[in-house]
Amino acid sequence: MADPLLSVRNLKTYFYTDEGVVRAVDGLTYDLHRGETLGIVGESGSGKSVHALSVMRLIPTPPGKIVDGQILFEGRDLLKLSDEQMRRIRGNRIAMVFQEPMTSLNPVLTIGEQIAEAIILHQHLDKRAAWTRAAEMLERVKIPLARQRVKDYPHQFSGGMRQRVMIAMALSCNPSVLIADEPTTALDVTIQAQIIELMRELQRDFGTSIIMITHNLGVVAEMCDNVVVMYAGRPIETTTIKRIFQEPKHPYTWGLLHSVPKLYERRERLIPIEGQPPSLIDLPPGCAFAPRCPFAMEICVQADPPDYPVGPSHTAKCYLYSDKATEKEKKAAEAAGLAASSRSGS
């Protein structure tokens, strides 16, 4: 396979607070290839948004700090760039769409001014050309009457339209990577469907690689090629979209898939994941999921498991797939429905 476009290696972003060190992202590793859509899935507090801000180098310091790792973009480590060099990449080569279309636009500037600002800064066009380009971008994201609407203010747009504006702004400099942080979470389903469709279409046309951050497994299934599942700041399972739904290997992924009600399946009792997500301050040694894991073994509370290969391009951070688990323990997990044998599928 060709070199990845963006490669995150062992990223660790910590926040130093009065209560202690919050390990928001703790050892994240993944590759993003050209034209690929990578899903980063996790619940609130799993570190998925902090990871995005780390890639953009937008972590407020203090209290936050990227303490370790590499973020290789086209072979260059973003963490080693000067602020000036980073400014030329941020918004230009790597752009971001935020969750809240209501708060991420400046209410006192027109849409056109906001889109043109990035174009003037990065593409060195004059104001007129930038405005023309802004209007073109609005047309691309299918805002009706785009040429007139560039002069409108954010409050004159609905939520779905604002998210379109955000996407237009992010794509205005034709970035290689688009990081979309829960882009449809604040929207209604019918509008969400419009935005997903739009993003797919634009990806086809622009060839942008997308990092899709979401908690919605449905959105992941619709949009992504590959997935990283995060829990308590750590990546616990990495694989293809097909395998994550058909053969989830990590007990957390498995639990997550069972706890959501299905639209087109018969109603049965939901199997929830018991307990609460842990506090990221003073995480106990061992696997962060162990206290909630129905298959937890003795080793799980003692040491944090490394990634184990569990199939073709499929890794899981779980001792069930090591020789540390006895046959009996593997059988028990299998009996519960988790494909626990590391041989299956490999």
- Give the binding site for another protein (CB under 8 A): 43-44, 158, 160-161, 188-194, 196-197, 200, 215-222, 241-242, 245-246, 255-257, 259-264, 267, 269-274, 276-277
Q: Which contacts (CB < 8 Å, 24+ apart) does range 89-92 have?
A: 90/56, 90/57, 90/58, 91/118, 91/121, 91/122, 91/170, 91/173, 91/175, 92/118, 92/121, 92/122, 92/173, 92/175
Count of CB atoms situated within 10 Å of the CB of 182 = 20
Beta bridge partners of 39: 212, 227
User: Distances in Å between the alpha carbon of 296 and those of 156, 200, 302, 319, 323?
Assistant: 53, 39, 11, 9, 15
Residue (289 or 319) nearer to another protein, CB: 289
Q: Which pair of structure tokens corresponds to residue 112?
A: 């056109």
Cα–Cα distance between 295 and 302 in angstroms, integer?
15
Q: Which pair of structure tokens corresponds to residue 308?
A: 């184990």
Helix (H, G, I), strand (E, B) or coil at 5: coil
Residue (193 or 303) nearer to another protein, CB: 193
Q: Give the DSSP letter of residue 277.
A: P
Bridge-based pairing of strands 234-240 and 64-73 is unpaired
Residue (77 or 201) nearer to another protein, CB: 201
Phi (first) and psi of residue 301, to 5 degrees: -90, -5
Q: How far is the CB of 247 from another protein (least distance, A)?
A: 12
Q: How far is the CB of 86 from another protein (least distance, A)?
A: 33
Residue written as tokens 């237009």? 168
Q: Give the DSSP letter of residue 80.
A: G
Q: Which pair of structure tokens corresponds to residue 290?
A: 């162990």
Residue (93 or 292) nearer to another protein, CB: 292
Q: How far is the CB of 160 from another protein (least distance, A)?
A: 6
Residue (10 or 279) nearer to another protein, CB: 279
Q: How far is the CB of 142 from another protein (least distance, A)?
A: 10
Cβ atoms of 300 and 213 within 8 Å: the answer is no
Residue (214 or 342) nearer to another protein, CB: 214
- What is the DSSP secondary-structure string of 289-346? TGGG-TT--TGGGTS----EEEETTEEE--GGGSTTS-HHHHHHHHHTT----TTTT-
Q: How far is the CB of 166 from another protein (least distance, A)?
A: 16
Residue (36 or 113) nearer to another protein, CB: 36
Q: How far is the CB of 26 from another protein (least distance, A)?
A: 19
Q: How far is the CB of 300 from another protein (least distance, A)?
A: 18
Residue (69 or 255) nearer to another protein, CB: 255
Q: How far is the CB of 285 from another protein (least distance, A)?
A: 23
Cα–Cα distance between 286 and 54 in angstroms, integer?
25
